[in-house]
Amino acid sequence: MQTLYEELNPPPRILMGPGPVDADPRVLKAMSMPLLGQFDPEFTRYMNETMDLYRRVFQTKNRWTFLIDGTARAGIEAVMTSIIIPGDKVLVPIFGRFGQLLTEITNRCGADIATIETEWGTVFTPDRIEDAIKKHRPKLVALVQGDTSTTMAQPLEEIGAICRRHDALLFVDATASITGMDLQTDNWQIDSVTAGLQKCLSGPPGSAPITFNERVEELVLKRKHVERGIRDDADRDAQGPIIKSNYFDLPMLMDYWSERRLNHHTEATSMLYAARECARIVLMEGFEARFARHALTSRALTAGLSAMGLELFGDQAHKMPNVTGVHIPDGIPGDAVRAALLENFGIEIGTSFGPLQGKIWRIGTMGFACAKRNVLTCLSALEATLRQFGYEAQWGKAVDCALSVYDGQ
């Protein structure tokens, strides 16, 4: 007889890597609600509510704010595939692995890509980005806000205005930073932003909230070709070249997420429930309290790590508040430490990629997992584990230092 395996019963974990992190139990509960048909008026009401909630999360008035089904990169692909016509110039300032991902995706869309790079652990000055825009005259600048691979956050306040001055669109991947730090889509003149649920939004991976403004709308509508089988007599093919992906075709998704409700894919019901609940939880807490919680947690965690004698990674002035990079000390086997943390304490932390692979650990304190109890548990577990590997430090100091940050908050 074929084995049916055991009923799923995942071991309890504290997910403190760079994502996914622990989902808020309220989100998991929302996901267990009964399914509805995709054109059930109750369900289309939830779709509209989700659009409204994410307008607030993205701090935008953009009508076009909805979900792409898929992980965060599905949101990126939808925007890129719909905007970029082969040969379009795109500028990607790269300060980590996820900048590289933007070149990977835009390359597949046929973009003529220009890049600028800065050492991992640093970010760009606005001037450097403006100089590159002047030199390359891109149609689109694609930038990551928080690059989890390096734990750095690129300041964005001035970039939108720079792009407008030079008639370029600005796209921002805020997957890792959204609701852990400020992101003002409209005030900062960002034309399109995409995200994912599995970081500060405290949901599971599998839904990508996106937003884009009229400038993007105008471009993508020039490429509107409604699928055969669902189009009606009024649908005329636009002059622009067809968008190469059906799944990620923004004009067709706009018809699905608006009053027309023209069938496209079958909306991922349970993921929509999850995304809706994630946004509700964020807005109930409020941005100010949420950003302060992430900043305080970052201060407590970094104080504890420093007290253990560990060296923090990267330019601390631009550190993301929700992920902390720390150098693996010489002679300490980084992966064995991570394995021991998981085995003995049920705590997951991450390493990094490319030039940082095996050189740093990354500790995530995001959304639901951004909590004092997690910081203190992680510090004491890391300390005990390092001791087992023969690392010398003044034991007990880490938790004391973290606690004094909380006491003095």
Ligand X SMILES: Cc1ncc(COP(=O)(O)O)c(C=O)c1O
Cβ distance to ligand X smaller for residue 147 or 255: 147
Residues making up the chain, counted from first to last: 409
Helices within 109-158 (DSSP H only): 126-136
Q: Which of 315, 323, 284 is nearest to 180 (CA)?
A: 323
Cβ distance to ligand X smaller for residue 72 or 376: 72
Is the separation of the CB atoms in 22 and 251 below 8 Å? no
Cβ distance to ligand X smaller for residue 206 or 304: 206
Q: State the minimum distance, in angstroms, from the CB of residue 389 to ligand X.
A: 28
DSSP states of 34-103: PP--TT-HHHHHHHHHHHHHHHHHTT---SEEEEEESSHHHHHHHHHHHHPPTT-EEEEEESSHHHHHHH
Cβ distance to ligand X smaller for residue 24 or 147: 147
Q: State the minimum distance, in angstroms, from the CB of residue 325 to ligand X.
A: 13
Q: State the minimum distance, in angstroms, from the CB of residue 147 to ligand X.
A: 6
Under 8 Å CB-to-CB from 312, ≥6 apart: which residues? 302, 305, 306, 319, 324, 325, 326, 327
Cβ distance to ligand X smaller for residue 138 or 196: 196
Whole-angstrom distance, CA of residue 168 vs CA of residue 124: 18
- Residue ranges that bind ligand X, judged by CB under 6 A: 19, 71-73, 98, 101, 144, 147-148, 173, 175-176, 196, 205
Q: State the minimum distance, in angstroms, from the CB of residue 280 to ligand X.
A: 21
Whole-angstrom distance, CA of residue 100 vs CA of residue 94: 6
Cβ distance to ligand X smaller for residue 291 or 391: 291
Whole-angstrom distance, CA of residue 195 vs CA of residue 188: 17
Q: State the minimum distance, in angstroms, from the CB of residue 301 to ligand X.
A: 19
Three-state secondary structure call for residue 248:
coil
Q: State the minimum distance, in angstroms, from the CB of residue 18 to ligand X.
A: 6
Q: State the minimum distance, in angstroms, from the CB of residue 270 to ligand X.
A: 17
Q: State the minimum distance, in angstroms, from the CB of residue 265 to ligand X.
A: 17
Please give the span between the terminal C-alpha atoms of the chain, in angstroms, as a whole number.
61
Is the separation of the CB atoms in 276 and 49 below 8 Å? yes
Whole-angstrom distance, CA of residue 314 vs CA of residue 302: 12
Number of Cβ atoms within 10 Å of the Cβ of 184? 15
Cβ distance to ligand X smaller for residue 74 or 405: 74
Cβ distance to ligand X smaller for residue 201 or 220: 201
Cβ distance to ligand X smaller for residue 73 or 338: 73
Q: State the minimum distance, in angstroms, from the CB of residue 259 to ligand X.
A: 30
